[in-house]
A and B are shown apart, each in its own frame.
Chain A
Amino acid sequence: MSIVLNLLSIALAGVVLNVLFSKSKIVQKYVSLLIFAGLTYFSFVMYSQVGEHFDFPFQIAGQSIGFTITWLNYYFGIMITGITLLTVIFSLKYMEGKDGSTHYYTVLSLKTFGMLGVIFSSDLITFFVFWEIMSWSTFGLMSTGGKDAPKSAFKYFVFAITASMILMAGVVLSYSLFGSFDFAVIHDKIGSLSLPMTGFLLSIFIVSFSVESAVFPVHSWLPDGYSNTFTTFTAYLSGISTRIGIYGIILFLFGIFGIQTVDKLSIIGKINFRYVFGVFAALTMVVPTFTALYQHDAKKLIAWHSVGQGGYMLIGLASGSALGIAGGMFHVLNHMAYVVLIVFAIAAVEHRTGTTNLNKLGGLIKKMPVSYLALLFGIIGLAGLPPMNGFVSKWFIYRALILGGYPFLAIAAVIGTLGTILSVYKLIHNMFLGQLPERYNNVKEVGFSMQLPMWILMIVVLGLGIFPGAAMGLIAKIQVALGLTAVPYSLHGIQTASGQLNMLVVSAVFIGGIFVTWIIYLLGSRRKHVSQYNNYAAGNFLDKKVAYNFNYEFYAAMEHVIDPYRKKIIQRTEQGIAGLTDAVSEYIRRIYTGMINTYGIYVITAFIVTIIILKELI
């Protein structure tokens, strides 16, 4: 029996057991823990079985369908199971006494089942079926955990259904063109297709996956959907769920169509398919990142960033060079590690204080130092500063864009990074720094079961920053398997003819610098810690009653600068799209007149048309 089937049946067993034990929360908790530990174990040991193929004993339309293990889906498999395990460990304490926790583990298992099915499938039918399971369970995840959740989940539902229909059209079209559902067969036959048809087919698939990975014009479901649900689900969804869309794009762009075919799709000169795709990715980086500046809710702020960071992955893939593609794929892993870390820290604060409102928190560093450290590691990764992992993948992407001759895409990446630095500082400042409000004087650090996932992720974030080679080995294997050039990596960076990056040296020099400063610091006389009320207040007196803090409208001046652009460009575009949709829907609505006579005419017309078509065919 194939190990993929093992994996899927364990995930399915998780769903069944959770439904069976829906009365007992304790059993549910530990069963889920066991299930996901098993899944993680099996997905890691899959290492030795790469290249294996499994077919179902039945066939569809004369085609055998099934699963296959490649380096690409191994990479995504370990990410999915690993992060789900950490989420479950974190949830043990977090979900205690919350409504909807019976539903919680069932949907989580179902979602994991769907995602594993999608990434291991070797043909369009399996892919589509599991894609649907995945979309439905995403809807299930989003619709719990808050009073606004069902509404925002419905928004996702509308987008997901549209995307699924487009994907379905792609599946049908490829079957009619190639007579097969199998990825390998399609890959072999793709060269014989005319270029306009190739472009059309590829666009269908890419548009469909763009919805799931929240590319700029179709991203609007994500921020509300992700931030209104349970905070642990926010972590899980932004960390891995959105990135299945990226998996689809990698698979179709490089695995099925192939970079040589994609590069033939030129429009004018340098403006080709990849470039257009890159422009959308650039918009995805810039616009949501600056929208994040305006947010007053920690979860929503991170949800917007999770849209923005997707842009980096896509722009890396769009650059088409070995370095850029490696950067894009590496960023998926890096983003998962730091974004989940950040959201766990937010969840810890929510667990203790009951709010994620950035205007109400402050000064928690004194009460929750571990959560603060977790958030600090996470935001340095998110902002892409050395020595954390986010820097390495962003460095690949910047370099690929600059040397590939895409200066404006590169500058979009830089603008996105600066916007990120601004909003993540607001996040950490308003939650952990500044004045501690009196009402949080008795707040305590979270327990071990919530700290453990944070410590693990902190090690991953820092470890991949100093030793990116640990993951680059796998990524180089994926690149070779997809027929691309592998990046010349070493354990602590990369080494190319035109220069190298050595994160170990960077980190060592940084530690050396800190050490020297520490000696200078020790030369002075001993420091004395004072209370937050012992502070400069221009001659006035501070005590517990005085709110002496700056966190509301943190970047008012910046908002003043970018507001006109936002109003002019973004809002007008959105209103335009909304107006167009309104007008089209209005015309479609007129079909439903409400009169029985009209419907009778429709039925008769449809009947006649069907008969004519059938006669033509037979």
Chain B
Amino acid sequence: MNVVLWIIFLPIILFVIGTFMLGYSRKFIARIERRYGPPIQQVFYDIFKLMNKKTNISHGWMHDIAILMLLGGTLLTMYFVPVPGFHFFAQYGDMLVIMYILLIPALGMALGVGETANPNGSIGISRALMMLAGYDIPFVLTFIGFAMINHTTSMYDLMLAQQAGGIAGWGLISQPLLGIAALIALQGMLGEKPFEVMVAPHEIATGPMTEMGGKYLGIMMIQHAIGIVVELTIYINLFLGGAVNWFEYIVKLFVLFTMLLSVNAVFGRFRTDDAVRFMWKIPLPLAIIGILFIIF
């Protein structure tokens, strides 16, 4: 019964947290830029407005299915990532599964955007995939390091192993090189500046979102809200010892997100090849050195 309640309410809870975090990010950036910024619940209004649009333009059946794959894939990832009090699905799939189901929404969106037949969209997808090759290699390498120390690939077990050691057991403290490499990779994973090559409004007219409007854009925003929480949760579970209760969890989410936002606020955008090169020149060697420390 408990599990059924979690299955029903988890997406709603994470959606609310995610939209507040997005609202908070707009406010935070605005204050750094000495603007007033929109109210914190603005993202709710935006989604409500988009879902109520009268005209919904679609370019074909893959465009429609893509939007289902996008949010469906994100919900799938969400259930497999353990949050405080709910790790029912963690026993059916480990971190390797999570890493690859994380790519389903990206693939869905890529296919849908491809069908819209807009070159801005295709360029955005091409950039997103190149960025993926940039940040995913160091990120996965850090996870491999952790799995080797703890002899398990289950995210829940990795979380428990860290909690057993107190704050000194946190991944970021016990394996600082891996923690920092993954933090840089996380910035790329969330698509924050300086790795914001995929959206790049001034260059390619928001890339994948160019031909998205109405309920399509609305569902994309819902997905973005949930997706951002899920990605941050993966980092928290792997490197910040997870969380035992929801208070701790939300505090960790906001602290981590604020850190990434502060970097986002003061940076410009890398060119795509520079962004990929950066990922392969800084976080990747850090992760490799971290792994060598583990082996020897």
Binding site for B on A (CB under 8 A): 363, 365-366, 369, 372, 376, 380, 383-386, 391, 395, 398-399, 402-403, 405, 407-408, 410-411, 414-415, 418-419, 421-422, 425, 428-429, 432-436, 493, 498-502, 505-506, 509-518, 520-521, 523-530, 532, 534-536, 538, 548-551, 554-555, 557-558, 560-561
Inter-chain contacts of A391 with B (CB < 8 A): 100
**Given the known A-B contacts A521-B67, A521-B219, A523-B51, are A498 and B92 also in contact in the complex, defined by CB atoms under 8 Å?**
no
Report how far A411 CA is from B114 CA in the complex, Å.
Answer: 30
Interface residue B54 (Cβ < 8 Å from any Cβ of A) = yes
Complex contact A557–B129 (CB within 8 A): no
Report how far A523 CA is from B51 CA in the complex, Å.
Answer: 8
Inter-chain contacts of B273 with A (CB < 8 A): 557-558, 560-561
Interface residue B201 (Cβ < 8 Å from any Cβ of A) = no
Complex contact A366–B97 (CB within 8 A): no
Of the candidate stretches B21-29, B35-43, B135-143, B187-195, the one touching chain A is B135-143
**Given the known A-B contacts A506-B93, A517-B67, are A536 and B60 also in contact in the complex, defined by CB atoms under 8 Å?**
no
Inter-chain contacts of B126 with A (CB < 8 A): 550, 554-555
Of the candidate stretches B161-169, B209-217, B240-248, B259-267, the one touching chain A is B209-217
**Given the known A-B contacts A363-B117, A535-B118, A557-B273, are A529 and B58 also in contact in the complex, defined by CB atoms under 8 Å?**
yes
Binding site for A on B (CB under 8 A): 11, 51-62, 64, 67-76, 79-80, 89, 91-94, 96-97, 100-101, 103-104, 107, 110-111, 114-120, 122-123, 125-127, 129-130, 132-133, 136-137, 140-141, 144-145, 147-148, 151-154, 157, 205, 210-211, 214-215, 218-219, 222, 271-273, 276-277, 280, 291, 294-295
Complex contact B91–A526 (CB within 8 A): no
The 6 closest A-B pairs by CB, nearest first: A433-B114, A524-B215, A513-B75, A514-B72, A513-B72, A550-B119
**Given the known A-B contacts A517-B219, A554-B126, are A529 and B60 also in contact in the complex, defined by CB atoms under 8 Å?**
yes
**Given the known A-B contacts A407-B295, A521-B215, are A414 and B68 also in contact in the complex, defined by CB atoms under 8 Å?**
no
Given contacts A421-B133, A498-B152, A560-B273, 10 further A-B contacts (CB under 8 A): A385-B100, A399-B153, A425-B107, A493-B92, A499-B154, A513-B73, A517-B70, A527-B214, A548-B119, A561-B276
**Given the known A-B contacts A418-B133, A558-B273, are A402 and B147 also in contact in the complex, defined by CB atoms under 8 Å?**
yes
Complex contact A524–B97 (CB within 8 A): no
Report how far A534 CA is from B213 CA in the complex, Å.
Answer: 14
Complex contact B276–A509 (CB within 8 A): no
Contact of B58 among A363, A366, A527, A536 (CB under 8 A): A527
Minimum Cβ distance to chain B for residue A455 (Å): 18
Contact of A510 among B57, B73, B122, B294 (CB under 8 A): B73
Closest A residue to B121 by beta carbon equals A550
Contact of A527 among B64, B145, B291 (CB under 8 A): B64
Inter-chain contacts of A429 with B (CB < 8 A): 110, 114, 122, 125
Complex contact A434–B64 (CB within 8 A): no
Complex contact B153–A414 (CB within 8 A): no
Closest A residue to B112 by beta carbon equals A433
Complex contact B130–A558 (CB within 8 A): yes
Complex contact A386–B133 (CB within 8 A): no
Complex contact B276–A557 (CB within 8 A): yes
Inter-chain contacts of A369 with B (CB < 8 A): 61
Report how far A510 CA is from B102 CA in the complex, Å.
Answer: 12
Report how far A429 CA is from B57 CA in the complex, Å.
Answer: 21
Most buried by B among A499, A502, A523: A499
Complex contact B119–A524 (CB within 8 A): no
Contact of B93 among A363, A403, A432, A501 (CB under 8 A): A501
Contact of B94 among A422, A433, A501 (CB under 8 A): A501
Inter-chain contacts of B11 with A (CB < 8 A): 516
Report how far A499 CA is from B67 CA in the complex, Å.
Answer: 32
**Given the known A-B contacts A385-B103, A501-B97, are A419 and B145 also in contact in the complex, defined by CB atoms under 8 Å?**
no
Complex contact A558–B276 (CB within 8 A): yes
Minimum Cβ distance to chain B for residue A566 (Å): 14
Report how far A380 CA is from B103 CA in the complex, Å.
Answer: 11
Inter-chain contacts of B79 with A (CB < 8 A): 509, 513
Complex contact A402–B122 (CB within 8 A): no
Complex contact A510–B104 (CB within 8 A): yes
Minimum Cβ distance to chain B for residue A438 (Å): 13
Instruction: List, sorted by A's number, 29 A–B pairs whose CB atoms are closer than 8 Å.
Output: A384-B100, A395-B97, A418-B133, A425-B129, A433-B115, A434-B119, A498-B153, A506-B76, A506-B93, A509-B79, A509-B80, A510-B72, A510-B76, A514-B69, A515-B72, A520-B71, A520-B219, A520-B222, A521-B219, A523-B51, A524-B52, A524-B56, A526-B56, A535-B211, A548-B119, A550-B126, A554-B122, A557-B127, A558-B273
Contact of A418 among B72, B132, B148, B153 (CB under 8 A): B132
Closest B residue to A435 by beta carbon equals B117
Contact of A428 among B89, B103, B111 (CB under 8 A): B111
Inter-chain contacts of A516 with B (CB < 8 A): 11, 71-72, 75
**Given the known A-B contacts A421-B129, A422-B130, A429-B122, are A530 and B148 also in contact in the complex, defined by CB atoms under 8 Å?**
no
Complex contact B72–A558 (CB within 8 A): no
Most buried by B among A372, A405, A418: A418
Complex contact B67–A557 (CB within 8 A): no
Report how far A402 CA is from B127 CA in the complex, Å.
Answer: 30
Closest A residue to B88 by beta carbon equals A505
**Given the known A-B contacts A433-B117, A501-B94, are A425 and B110 also in contact in the complex, defined by CB atoms under 8 Å?**
yes
Report how far A569 CA is from B221 CA in the complex, Å.
Answer: 44
Inter-chain contacts of A509 with B (CB < 8 A): 75-76, 79-80, 89
**Given the known A-B contacts A433-B111, A528-B55, A548-B119, are A518 and B68 also in contact in the complex, defined by CB atoms under 8 Å?**
yes
**Given the known A-B contacts A380-B107, A414-B140, A521-B67, are A421 and B57 also in contact in the complex, defined by CB atoms under 8 Å?**
no
Inter-chain contacts of A505 with B (CB < 8 A): 89, 92-93
Complex contact B137–A411 (CB within 8 A): yes
Complex contact A550–B75 (CB within 8 A): no
Inter-chain contacts of A403 with B (CB < 8 A): 147-148, 151, 153
Complex contact A517–B291 (CB within 8 A): no
Minimum Cβ distance to chain A for residue B152 (Å): 5
Inter-chain contacts of A498 with B (CB < 8 A): 151-154
Inter-chain contacts of B62 with A (CB < 8 A): 365, 372, 433
Complex contact B72–A550 (CB within 8 A): no
Inter-chain contacts of A557 with B (CB < 8 A): 127, 130, 271-273, 276
Closest B residue to A499 by beta carbon equals B154
**Given the known A-B contacts A500-B91, A513-B71, A550-B122, are A411 and B141 also in contact in the complex, defined by CB atoms under 8 Å?**
yes
